[in-house]
Amino acid sequence: MAERKAFEIFPQQESFMDSSPDRCRTCAVVGNSVNLLGSHYGPLIDFHDVIMRFNTARTVGYEGDVGNKTTLHIMYPESAVDLDDHTHLILFPFKIRDLEWLVSAFTTKSVTMTNKGLKSTVKANQGLRLILSSSCTQVKVLYPGFIQYVHENWLGKKGRYPSTGFMGVVLAMHICDEVSVFGFGADKDGNWRHYWEELRNKHYGTGPHGGGQEYKRILELAKRKKLNFYRGF
């Protein structure tokens, strides 16, 4: 079983804490929306203690709008990228094959396909643990049940499954003292696209994700002062 092998390689440990230098205090959750372009949010984003980015997010060439620091890089196997020594990985496994890839990536490197071709390994700090805690200094694999929890309790099962970005928002709400959210939502024409991509499809949506519902939840949290939301342009 992939789950059992993963736990053998990356032992589960409890590390919940109320006070520690490792605790996440101010967190910036930086989505990949095109509405970051022209925002000049970069210095504000980099001012946070912990900065979360997602999937194939880029900073080079966009520093003025998105910043250049990354603390936690959240991805799934199909979006895996190599990380530098100062960035910690959080893997969001959506399926059993994702856990098989995780084991393979740090052992045999034999898994090169899930629902499409992918990297057989990834450069990252290998001190991984299958936990969800308030410490920001360890690389983690998100417990898959958390995805179900977000889908059912936060989104009312809208969409096939949550986006990695929205799961990052909810994760930050659990582990950070103060959360600021950037780079979520459509552009002024209603298209949902990444800030580093050219728009070819003039009616670009959110795919399997309930993007509208996710955006609505972020607005509700901001209205209730549970997080700070920077809409962009």
Distance CA 128, CA 9 (A): 9
Asked about 209 being catalytic, the answer comes back as yes
Single-letter residue type at 80: A
Residue tagged active-site, from 161, 204, 215, 230: 161
Per-residue pLDDT of 108-165, as tens digits, reads: 788 887 777 777 777 766 554 443 444 454 557 788 888 889 999 999 888 778 888 9
Asked about 161 being catalytic, the answer comes back as yes
**What is the value of pTM for the model shown?**
0.82
DSSP state, 152? I
Domains and CATH numbers, the chain: 2-12+22-230 (3.90.1480.20)
Per-residue pLDDT of 211-225, as tens digits, reads: 788 999 999 999 999
Nearest to 133 by CA among 54, 17, 48, 51: 17
Residue tagged active-site, from 204, 209, 215, 230: 209
